[in-house]
Amino acid sequence: MPGLYGTEQLDGWKKVTRAVHEAGGKIVVQLWHVGRISHTSLQPGHAKPVAPSAIRAHAKTVLLKDGVPTFTDTSEPRALDAEELPRIVQDYRHAARNAIAAGFDGVEVHGANGYLIDQFLRDGTNKRDDAYGGPVENRARLLREVAEAVLSVWEPGQVGVRLSPTNPFNDIADSNPQATFETVVAQLNQYGLGYLHVVEDRTDGFDYQKLRRIFNGAYMANGGYERDSAIDAVESEQADFIAFGKLFIANPDLPERLRLNTGFNPAREESFYAGGAEGYDDYPFLAAGN
């Protein structure tokens, strides 16, 4: 995944943000730390990945083997000491500053999908007994500290947070996701964020509309939406706006396709996370005149 901490990376991102702005668009960068979803060979000194608790994920990460991106079992992590967490928070603050220097229009704090912040939020991966574990108010401490670090650099309206209350991706779960994430969202209200981005699974019985009612800002829904379902969700006020993922990967001109109500390129999921250009920037645009 791309970084946002070195000069060479910023130089590359400036080209991207410039191109987006020249095309009349806006671009927001998502900041995240993978935590235990890693491998010793990717760590300095081949150290163990870090996590809230030393619980190995039954999940995969991507390594280069003989130059070929290969899905590999994640390594056993070690539990972070509480004294290490301020440095991680500072890393987010540093990245948020770099996002300004690189020309981004906003920042999204990634607290979803089984990565580090989500690992702290959910009691299936957070077994700590210190100020960052136990009740949800403690498990959400790292998210609050990261949000405050980012907000020390950016205006609140330019900052969002992404959550995935029931998504089991990367071997993660919570014993009571409804109560956990209602509390988390209520705590986020103190920051006046620009939006809340929620990865929904509308088949699991979770009351996502309760989160929408609790949150004081704009609500972005994400989860398998297509044109008609997205329009219906906004018109029925179930969401303020919709995020597209796989559909956007496969359709680089997705806004135009949505406007014209035309067909979509099918996504080639076998190429996801494959590490090369194939399946990344080679999907066709609409033919002229379509």
Residues belonging to the active site: 115
SS (H, E, C) the chain: CCCCCCHHHHHHHHHHHHHHHHCCCCCEEEECCCCCCCCHHHCHHHCCCEECCCCCCCCEEEEEECCEEEEEECCCCEECCHHHHHHHHHHHHHHHHHHHHCCCCEEEEECCCCCHHHHHHCCCCCCCCCCCCCCHHHHCHHHHHHHHHHHCCCCHHHEEEEECCCCCCCCCCCCCHHHHHHHHHHHHHHHCCCEEEEECCCCCCCCHHHHHHHCCCEEEEECCCCHHHHHHHHHCCCCCEEECCHHHHHCCCHHHHHHHCCCCCCCCHHHCCCCCCCCCCCCCCCCCCC
Could you give the CA distance from residue 217 to residue 194 in angstroms, rounded to a whole number? 6
Residue environment code for 219-236, b if the CB has 16+ CB neighbours within 10 A, otherwise e: bbbbbebebeebeebeee
Q: Are 170 and 59 in contact (CB under 8 A)?
A: yes
